[in-house]
């Protein structure tokens, strides 16, 4: 490799700016402009690629709308009602509150689509509940909140899958459906591990909620629980596009939080709009930088070159998927997930297509790998977030995370080796893959 080539200098610029604290999106734009200048190309191409890619992608509007819906549904009253519902369902089992933590991640998956948002919102509340009275150690509670947050972006709606649909051209509806069984499998292996650990470590069991109270608790949480039903119903019935469904979800969340539960006033609505705008801008700049850098990658003919090298190795589809799993697990421990989806996956997709790997199956595998990377030592972003929330050392947190990491990798193996498991639900909806 020529370390003085325009591409090498562009990469060095991106890495250097990132290490200096410049946001990754802006760093990629800076490195890409340097590449265009060194190659003698029109530097206005960066702006042209950015504008053409973003303004022609109606799907991108779904991201800020999903974020806004999550912000509206994360108010205190809504959270309390949903957590009471989760506690009534699984609180009576060994490791009751720990089981509630996993179940609430399934419920909140329909409102966020972001692992970091789940950990910062409901995960923070679960941390306080689990450690109250010394029922669970702060390290275990923090580790569980981190690994359970991984479930959210696998289940619909999922921001990482929206981004994958953007770079792959795959149907977002079928991707959402393909995430259902893998997400539930991930939750299932986590709850099974909690059950085993609860027996061994004598975790407390929550008082059983009387069955006569279950209808009332369900009724109180019913409006919030209907959000995924309305969202997915409109999406898969063909009534709305994914972006329109996201807008409907945001409007419904606002109606529930303000008019029905009365948990938000004008000030809270303003704060939700402001925080959602900040998050959306952060993601938007990352997408912008990745789109411009992808133009550089394409100019260097890297996807085609890599595809030719991999074809020369004569890898089977399974061997390729195993190699991709290993690559993405390592990258996920160091890089932000959106960066991997927007920069790395477009390089791997041509080879996956050439090997006959289903793009929906490949997308679910990729997203699950990236989500596991968020809790993979030493640099998983969720680990750093939960050390601050739980106020524990990284070493103690990682020690509690490792058993969950092993069972999640086991679930990843099932999803990789058994495509029909992933594609079962999409095929019920008419997918021909």
Displacement of CA 410 from its chain's centroid (Å)? 19
Determine phi and psi for 391, rounding to 5 degrees. Answer: 55, 50
Query: Can you give the residue range of the structural domain that contains 307?
Result: 6-428
Cβ atoms of 281 and 67 closer than 8 Å = no
Closest CA to 165 of 235, 71, 251, 116: 235
pLDDT tens-digit map of 119-149: 666 666 677 777 776 778 888 888 888 888 8
417 falls within a domain? yes
433 falls within a domain? no
pLDDT tens-digit map of 147-193: 888 887 888 877 888 889 888 888 888 898 899 899 999 999 999 99
Tokens of 250: 């945001």
Q: How far apart are CA 12 and CA 31, in angstroms?
A: 8
84 falls within a domain? yes
Tell me what pLDDT residue 45 has: 65
Number of C-beta neighbours around residue 431 at 10 A: 17
1 falls within a domain? no
Residue 363: pLDDT above 90? yes
79 falls within a domain? yes
pLDDT tens-digit map of 287-340: 777 777 777 777 777 766 766 676 677 778 888 899 888 888 877 776 667 778
Reduced to 3 states (helix: H, G, I; strand: E, B; else coil), residue 264 is coil
Residue 129 neighbours by CB under 8 Å, 6+ apart: 83, 97
Cβ atoms of 427 and 194 closer than 8 Å = no
Tokens of 201: 């470590």
327 falls within a domain? yes
Band (110; pLDDT cuts 50, 70, 90): low
Q: How far apart are CA 413 and CA 316, in angstroms?
A: 16
Q: How far apart are CA 66 and CA 53, in angstroms?
A: 20
Cβ atoms of 181 and 421 closer than 8 Å = yes
Instruction: Indicate the number of domains in the chain.
Output: 1
Residue 361: pLDDT above 90? yes
Measured CA to CA in angstroms, residue 403 lies from 144, 193, 194, 197 at distances of 11, 8, 10, 10
Q: Round the average pLDDT of the chain to a whole number and report it.
A: 79
pLDDT tens-digit map of 251-261: 888 888 888 77
64 falls within a domain? yes
Percent of the chain with pLDDT over 90: 11
């Amino acid at each position: 490799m020529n370390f003085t080539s325009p591409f090498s200098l562009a990469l060095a610029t991106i890495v250097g700016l990132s290490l200096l604290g410049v946001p990754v999106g802006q760093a990629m734009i800076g490195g890409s402009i340097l590449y265009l200048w060194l190659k003698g190309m029109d530097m206005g191409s960066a702006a042209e690629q950015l504008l053409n890619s973003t303004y022609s992608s109606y799907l991108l509007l779904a991201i800020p709308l999903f974020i806004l819906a999550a912000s509206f549904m994360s108010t205190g009253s809504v959270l309390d009602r949903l957590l009471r519902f989760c506690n009534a369902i699984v609180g009576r089992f060994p490791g009751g509150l720990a089981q509630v933590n996993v179940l609430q991640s399934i419920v909140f998956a329909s409102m966020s689509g972001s692992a970091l948002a789940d950990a910062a919102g409901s995960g923070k509340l679960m941390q306080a509940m689990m450690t109250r009275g010394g029922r669970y150690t702060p390290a275990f509670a923090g580790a569980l909140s981190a690994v359970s947050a991984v479930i959210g972006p696998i289940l619909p709606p999922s921001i990482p899958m929206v981004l994958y649909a953007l770079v792959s051209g795959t149907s977002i509806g079928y991707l959402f459906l393909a995430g259902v069984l893998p997400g539930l499998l991930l939750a299932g292996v986590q709850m099974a591990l909690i059950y085993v650990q609860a027996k061994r470590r004598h975790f407390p069991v929550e008082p059983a909620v009387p069955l006569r109270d279950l209808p009332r608790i369900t009724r109180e949480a019913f409006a919030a629980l209907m959000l995924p039903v309305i969202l997915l119903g409109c999406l898969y019935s063909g009534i709305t596009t994914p972006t329109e469904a996201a807008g409907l979800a945001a409007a419904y969340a606002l109606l529930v939080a303000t008019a029905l539960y009365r948990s938000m006033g004008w000030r809270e609505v303003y704060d939700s709009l402001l925080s959602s705008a900040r998050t959306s801008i952060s993601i938007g700049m990352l997408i912008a930088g990745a789109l411009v850098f992808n133009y550089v990658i394409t100019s260097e003919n890297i996807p085609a070159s890599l595809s030719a090298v991999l074809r020369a190795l004569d890898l089977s589809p399974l061997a390729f998927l195993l190699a991709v799993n290993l690559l993405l697990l390592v990258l996920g421990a160091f890089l932000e997930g959106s960066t991997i989806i927007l920069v790395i996956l477009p390089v791997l997709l041509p080879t996956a297509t050439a090997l006959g790997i289903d793009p929906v199956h490949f997308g679910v595998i990729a997203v699950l790998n990236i989500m596991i990377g968020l809790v993979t030592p030493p640099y998983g972003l969720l680990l750093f977030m939960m050390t601050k929330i739980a106020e524990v050392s990284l070493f103690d947190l990682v020690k509690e995370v490792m058993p969950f990491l092993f069972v999640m990798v086991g679930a990843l193996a099932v999803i990789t080796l058994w495509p029909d498991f992933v594609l079962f639900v999409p095929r019920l909806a008419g997918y021909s893959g």
